[in-house]
Structure 1
Amino acid sequence: MDRDEPNPLLGIALKVSSVLVFVAMSTFIKSAGDGIATGQITFYRSAFAMVPILCYLAVKGDLATAFKTRDPFGHLIRGFIGILAMSCGFYGLTHLPLPEAIAIGYAMPLLAVVFAAVFLKEVVRIYRWSAVIVGLVGVMIITYPRLTLFAGGGGEAGAAYGALAVLLSAALGATAMVLVRKLVMNERTHTIVLYFSLSASLFSLLTLPFGWEPLTWRAFLFLMAAGFCGGVAQLLLTQSYRYADMSTIAPFEYTSIVLGLVIGYWLFDDVPTVTMLIGTAIVISAGIFIILREHRLGLERRAARKHVTPQG
């Protein structure tokens, strides 16, 4: 991806905007109402996301090249894993309070560190491993009250399965991140974004015989808005990386929990529990530690390269 002139404040503004729109997407999905099949939600989210993406590519003059790919099979696998992650996440979102679903989803970047070490052979040192372990402990603190149902501790079955679904979504999402890391070596960013929305739409159509129902106008409009927000948020996120380093903007991902708490309380009467707040604080602390550690290592590597004496 080509980098424009660095502008950290603009990059941060775009990142926060993307987080806001992603939370709006989740809010629209929850507002659509219960009883809508997960595959049906996923289809509308993916199909309508293509509208702003295609418009953006057309304006930029990149529409013709966006469909050209060197790795169609890679896009297919990434799309399949991504659609599974999205479906699990939407199932959990419709069965959990909004801030709780957001907080459990923070397990994804932690698991991505583990998967990158295992599958991409990236070097992960003791500091990052320690932060990952602490962060995952925080995730377990958040989910434990829900999972006690399976140990005979009572609770609502829907919420318990919702917590497991979001955990599975985080694991699948981390896998998709690893696949994207491989794709970006040979593919353009807008090609990856476009093919994911396209493949997700097609894969979700396969669930048509399994519980799809006619939608009310209210539900249709909410799901259409969710899809449009998903596409806009993806574009904002992609643009944010053009103006600022990832280590600069990544911590602002955690503004989503603040938005989730406010919207959850205001629209859905979701009151956070003490264990959820404690677990969330642990997860966020671990995530920010990893980001700052990577930023410091990046500075050290750049400084080392500057001091290397040319040979010859």
Structure 2
Amino acid sequence: MKAVSAKLAFAVAAAGIASYSVMDAVMKDMSILHGAYSAVLWRSVAGVFVLGPVFLARRKAWPGRAAMTLHIARSAVAGASVLLFFWGLVRVPMAQSVALTFLAPLIALFLAAATLGEQIRRAAIGGSVVASMGVLVIAAGQVQAHASAEVVLGSVAVVLASILYAGSLILLRKQAQVADPLEVALFTSIVLGGMLLVGAPWFSAIPPVAYIPHILGAAALGSVSAMALAWAYGHAEAQVLAPAEYTAFVWAALLGWWVFGESVSLYTVAGAALIIAGCIVAVRGSTTAPAPQTEAAA
């Protein structure tokens, strides 16, 4: 593998995060107009058309039983996470939603201890305390702003999505041992799209022709993000690239303001800072690479 500079790898990772943030804005718009279920369903279907030709062109073998079992299991968990996230994103400002998703890597540390037998380090416990304070600060901001029941439910949905996403990260570790990023992304789109099609007659509808560019755009942005992050993490250490993950908060704040007219409260900024600090404390000195925030496969 050709050596590249850490700065270049960081720049590519940051570009991947920016691409995913724009996709979040497109998905929020689609979720507002057509519902989160339809938005996730048709993005998954579009993802198959975007990634399928690339997979076939590489003439890769069809995944075996073990790999397919993991694809199905993670698709179910990641799919529930994505649905909850975008349902919540409709009701909660983008910056606040993204700040709450930063809990996922921290939760994953504890799930890894419970499911993979990994030891819980003291730093992880300390980091969880700091991050929990960040969540409380964001909640205090909602109380101070007299947030509606819809906003509170949206925030709860995003937190639940983060928990499920953390579970998907554990499964992703196992997936990475039997499949490359392209296969993971494609077959998650296939499985998730297939699962959601079952409920489509009741929860979705054929999207208007005028909205097809948005659907294809969301799928393309997600694919670009996945490939950019996979390349970056293949050329630089996780500890170098991890800070790029948190640029998502800046993009979410800017896009939320520009596209949806959302404001960012000091409570959200302070809470995000505490959550990020908690995650950094938790992974400090860890020998394992934290998984990217973006749901490359979902």
**Residue in structure 1 matched with residue 295 of structure 2 by the alignment:** none
Number of residue equivalences: 289
Q: Distance in 1 between matches of 2:71 and 2:30?
A: 30
Q: Aligned in 2, Cα 1:76/1:137: closer, same or farther, shift over 3 Å?
A: same
**Residue in structure 1 matched with residue 87 of structure 2 by the alignment:** 91
1:107-126 to 2 correspondences below 5 Å: 107-126=103-122
Tell me the amino acid that sits aligned with residue 92 of structure 1.
G
Q: Aligned in 2, Cα 1:15/1:291: closer, same or farther, shift over 3 Å?
A: farther
Per mean C-alpha deviation after superposition, the further-off stretch among 217-226 and 233-242 is 217-226
Q: Distance in 2 between matches of 1:14 and 1:57?
A: 22
**Residue in structure 1 matched with residue 275 of structure 2 by the alignment:** 283
Q: Distance in 1 between matches of 2:207 and 2:71?
A: 30
Q: Distance in 2 between matches of 1:265 and 1:145?
A: 18
Question: What value does the CA root-mean-square deviation take over the aligned residues?
Answer: 2.4
**Residue in structure 1 matched with residue 228 of structure 2 by the alignment:** 236
8 Å Cα contact 1:40/1:207 also seen in 2: no
1:11 pairs with 9, 12, 17, which one? 9
Once the two structures are TM-superposed, the CA of residue 5 in structure 1 deviates from its matched residue by 3.0
8 Å Cα contact 1:264/1:270 also seen in 2: yes
8 Å Cα contact 1:14/1:236 also seen in 2: yes
Once the two structures are TM-superposed, the CA of residue 109 in structure 1 deviates from its matched residue by 0.9
1:90-239 to 2 correspondences below 5 Å: 90-146=86-142, 155-239=147-231
2:26 pairs with 6, 28, 31, which one? 28
1:263 pairs with 252, 255, 266, which one? 255
Q: Aligned in 2, Cα 1:275/1:221: closer, same or farther, shift over 3 Å?
A: same
Q: Deviations over 1:136-163 (max 9, x none)?
A: 22123223444x59xxx95322212111
Q: Distance in 1 between matches of 2:39 and 2:214?
A: 10
Q: Aligned in 2, Cα 1:56/1:247: closer, same or farther, shift over 3 Å?
A: farther
Q: Distance in 1 between matches of 2:206 and 2:231?
A: 36
Structure 1 portions without partners, runs of 5+ = 299-312
Q: Distance in 2 between matches of 1:18 and 1:143?
A: 29
- Higher Cα Rg, which structure: 1
Q: Distance in 1 between matches of 2:150 and 2:205?
A: 20
Structure 2 portions without partners, runs of 5+ = 290-298
3-state SS of paired residue (2:199):
coil
8 Å Cα contact 1:15/1:236 also seen in 2: yes
Q: Distance in 2 between matches of 1:56 and 1:188?
A: 13
Q: Aligned in 2, Cα 1:13/1:210: closer, same or farther, shift over 3 Å?
A: same
Normalising by structure 1, we get a TM-score of 0.84
3-state SS of paired residue (1:164):
helix
Q: Distance in 1 between matches of 2:50 and 2:7?
A: 24
Q: Deviations over 1:208-238 (max 9, x none)?
A: 1233234344443323311221122111111
Tell me the amino acid that sits aligned with residue 124 of structure 2.
R
**Residue in structure 2 matched with residue 49 of structure 1 by the alignment:** 47
Once the two structures are TM-superposed, the CA of residue 186 in structure 1 deviates from its matched residue by 3.3
Normalising by structure 2, we get a TM-score of 0.88
**Residue in structure 1 matched with residue 68 of structure 2 by the alignment:** 72
Q: Distance in 1 between matches of 2:148 and 2:207?
A: 27
8 Å Cα contact 1:110/1:136 also seen in 2: no
Q: Distance in 2 between matches of 1:135 and 1:293?
A: 18
Q: Deviations over 1:148-201 (max 9, x none)?
A: 59xxx9532221211111111100000011111123233334332222121111
Tell me the amino acid that sits aligned with residue 251 of structure 2.
L
Aligned-residue sequence identity (percent) comes to: 20
Q: Aligned in 2, Cα 1:96/1:55: closer, same or farther, shift over 3 Å?
A: same
Per mean C-alpha deviation after superposition, the further-off stretch among 65-74 and 18-27 is 65-74
Once the two structures are TM-superposed, the CA of residue 131 in structure 1 deviates from its matched residue by 0.7
Tell me the amino acid that sits aligned with residue 188 of structure 2.
F
Once the two structures are TM-superposed, the CA of residue 7 in structure 1 deviates from its matched residue by 3.5
